[in-house]
Amino acid sequence: MASQDRVIIFDTTLRDGEQALPQSLSERQKLQIALALEELGVDVIEAGFPVSSQGDFESVQLIARTLKHAVPCGLSRAVIKDIDVAAQALKAAEHFRIHTFIATSSIHVKDKLRKTFDDVLAMGVAAVKQARKYTDDVEFSCEDAGRTPIDQLCRMIEEAIKAGATTINIPDTVGYTVPTEFGGIITQVMNRVPNVDKAVISVHCHNDLGMATANSLTAVQMGARQIECCVNGLGERAGNCSLEEVAMAIKLRSKILGGVETGIIAKNIARTSALVSKICHEPVPSHKAIVGSNAFSHSSGIHQDGVLKNRETYEILTPESVGFSGNTMLMTARSGRHMIRECLRKLGYADDEYDLNDIYARFLKLADRKGQVFDYDLESLIFFTKLDEEDDTYHLEQMNVTSGTASVIPTATVRLRVGRRTRTESSIGNGPVDACYNCITHLTGVKCVLKSYEINANGAGMDALGQVDVTVEYEGRIFHGMGLSTDVIESSALALLHAINNIERAKKIHAAKKRPSRTVKAAAEQAAKAAE
Ligand SMILES: CC(=O)SCCNC(=O)CCNC(=O)[C@H](O)C(C)(C)COP(=O)(O)OP(=O)(O)OC[C@H]1O[C@@H](n2cnc3c(N)ncnc32)[C@H](O)[C@@H]1OP(=O)(O)O
Ligand SMILES: CC(C)C(=O)C(=O)O
Ligand SMILES: [Mg+2]
């Protein structure tokens, strides 16, 4: 399967990745992920550990029946029954791999397996021979190879290859090694195991010291040609080597890594990452390489200026190349004038229509107060000298909700203050938040579409406040809202109202801009007068 330059991507999200989840995945969830991995261009999919439960057996069976291009694989201990069961689960596939393993480090052999190294050697050999009865694609792993004495490791590998293993996996099971050390282990295996050319050398690195990607790539430089990894770096404890990191590092730095390549289709990375995150209920950290929400985001002035002049100043790969729609530029108190002018240009303001230094000084004050400033806030700065809560069109006066189990219809009554008047509305919904939102959209008449809703505890214990953040779309623009209260339904109502008040402010500006033969300055004066 492997040409000299091709690194096989062996994905173990469904096996090692799943081991790290608080609950196991269902058959359907596993199949969905397996199909996405196949579309991503993964070569081998380790679908599970068939002997571990009937559910996992059936998942592996279904995946083996369904895959068209990727090779399905099942894990088994060096135990005859495990191997027989794995073969049963996989046999529907035309071609499948059995992966069998046993630990070889002294601590695992003595304290966990309670055996001698010679016992383990014999068990490994017997396991490979049993697996070869079912398939000519047999992988053998020396668990905890990173801490295994090199003489014993080389001996085990030589015997496993003699017994018929076609892939030899060298795991750094506890993520203990550093790149020079791990690279040294691979070099020794390459130089000292006489029949090493009869098998593909694979690596399986854990991230306990944050070295998984570095160790895997160093191993490739030393001759390994299979990397075992998981989407989003999922996996036992601190995770496995992250698929997207090694795939993009090999794509981008192929030359320095020896001219190697993988079959990964990079533009499918973002959507696979999102799917795995959603199905596994494992959020991707914002700073995660390649797939984190901040991976292509810039918020400091010097970086934004650089990216605006040439994005390669701060972007080593494009967000589009891994399937994102583009980068993001956040406006915070760390942004500079170049970013502010760019945002106003995008909103349609010519450079001579405003005083950049004046806007920038007021932007900084707002950013210090607010944290993040959005395009509609910036536009407001042109039209209003101050942006205060009093500018809000709608204020929440009162709110009452009823909800409960099946027979109770969630109902809300909301009273808003609009200037000196109040308006009241009652509505039902599919939950108390939905009922409140129905009231608010009726009362304000603003038909915005809820795009995202996020709820978090702000603080700890009984004093924690519920913080709700929403984004809504109104006439093609995105508006944000945040609500904070000890009552999460009230936080939700306040967040939507906040977003709607931002929409109302943008509407006023839009109306002022539309008046005929007005300069921005004149329109701004007019808008400011109207607001008094
Ligand atoms: C590094 C890794 O990620 S390894 C993979 C880890 N994944 C999993 O463990 C998930 C699947 N596991 C399971 O479903 C269960 O643990 C089973 C079905 C495999 C075994 O369950 P049980 O028989 O109840 O044993 P239990 O899990 O408590 O203990 C493991 C046993 O396997 C032995 N064992 C561990 N690894 C191996 C191996 N590679 N080959 C042979 N025996 C092994 C242990 O020494 C222990 O044996 P003992 O009962 O004689 O002391
Ligand atoms: C089963 C083996 C390959 C493993 O997951 C490890 O050693 O980390
Ligand atoms: Mg592992």
Q: Output the pLDDT for position 389.
A: 55
Residue nearest to atom 2 of ligand 2 (CA): 143
Q: Output the pLDDT for position 318.
A: 98
The CA distances from residue 117 to 113, 151, 156, 158, 387, in Å, are: 10, 12, 9, 14, 73
**First-to-last C-alpha distance (Å) of the chain:** 75
Please identify, by atom number, the ligand 2 atom nearest to the C-alpha of residue 228. 3
Which residue out of 82, 105, 113 has the highest number of ligand 1 atoms within 8 Å of its CB and is therefore the one to mutate?
A: 113
Q: Output the pLDDT for position 380.
A: 87
Q: What separation in Å is there between the alpha carbon of 224 and the centre of ligand 1?
A: 27
Amino acid at 318: T
Q: How many CB atoms lie within 10 A of CB 188?
A: 15
Please list all protein residues whose beta carbon sits less than 5 angstroms from ligand 3, which is an ion. 16
Residue nearest to atom 5 of ligand 2 (CA): 16
Respond yes or no on whether ipTM tops 0.90. Answer: yes
Q: What separation in Å is there between the alpha carbon of 75 and the centre of ligand 2?
A: 9
**Cα(121)–Cα(271) distance, integer angstroms:** 42
Please identify, by atom number, the ligand 2 atom nearest to the C-alpha of residue 12. 5
Give the pocket of ligand 2 (CB within 6 Å): 16, 75, 101, 141, 143, 169, 171, 173, 204, 206
* Binding-site residue positions for Mn(2+): 16, 204, 206, 240
Question: Per-residue pLDDT for 1 more than 50?
Answer: no
The predicted model gives 243-260 an average pLDDT of: 98
- Which tops the pLDDT comparison, 239 or 459? 239
Residue nearest to atom 6 of ligand 2 (CA): 173
Please identify, by atom number, the ligand 1 atom nearest to the C-alpha of residue 171. 1
Secondary structure element (H or E) that encloses residue 458, with its range: strand 449-458
Q: Sign of dihedral through CA atoms 437, 442, 443, 445? A: positive
Mean of per-residue pLDDT scores for the chain = 95
Residue nearest to atom 31 of ligand 1 (CA): 113
Q: Give the angle 120-83-155 at the CA atoms, nearest 5°.
A: 30
The predicted model gives 64-88 an average pLDDT of: 98
Please identify, by atom number, the ligand 1 atom nearest to the C-alpha of residue 103. 39
Cite the beta strand spans of 163-265 per DSSP E: 167-172, 200-205, 226-229
Residue 215: HSE in the Cβ half-sphere, 13 Å Cα cutoff: 30
Retrieve residue 218's tokens: 């160093």
| b/e map 519-532, b = 16+ CB within 10 Å | ebeebbeebeeeee
Which residue out of 113, 142, 204 has the highest number of ligand 2 atoms within 8 Å of its CB and is therefore the one to mutate?
A: 204
Retrieve residue 122's tokens: 């014999």
Q: What separation in Å is there between the alpha carbon of 82 and the centre of ligand 1?
A: 10
Domains of the chain: 8-280 (3.20.20.70), 297-373 (no CATH), 390-528 (3.30.160.270)
Q: Which of 60, 71, 58, 84 has its CA nearest to residue 11?
A: 71
Pairing of strands 449-458, 465-474: antiparallel
CB 17 within 8 A of CB 235: yes
The predicted model gives 40-61 an average pLDDT of: 98
Q: Which of 74-78, 111-115, 375-379, 522-526 has the lowest mean pLDDT?
A: 522-526
Residue nearest to atom 23 of ligand 1 (CA): 52
Q: Dump pLDDT digits (tens) for 460-519.
A: 887 789 999 999 999 999 999 999 999 999 999 999 999 999 999 999 888 877 665 456
Q: In this structure, what DSSP letter does residue 112 have?
A: I
300: helix, coil or strand? coil
Amino acid at 334: R
Question: Per-residue pLDDT for 8 more than 80?
Answer: yes
Please identify, by atom number, the ligand 1 atom nearest to the C-alpha of residue 79. 41
**Cα(19)–Cα(280) distance, integer angstroms:** 11
Q: What separation in Å is there between the alpha carbon of 104 and the centre of ligand 3?
A: 14
Retrieve residue 410's tokens: 């969630």
CB 229 within 8 A of CB 12: yes
Give the pocket of ligand 1 (CB within 6 Å): 16, 19, 49, 51-52, 77-79, 101-102, 112-113, 143, 173, 236
CB 455 within 8 A of CB 481: no
Residue nearest to atom 24 of ligand 1 (CA): 52
Burial label for 209, CB within 10 Å (0-12, 13-18, 19+), is: middle
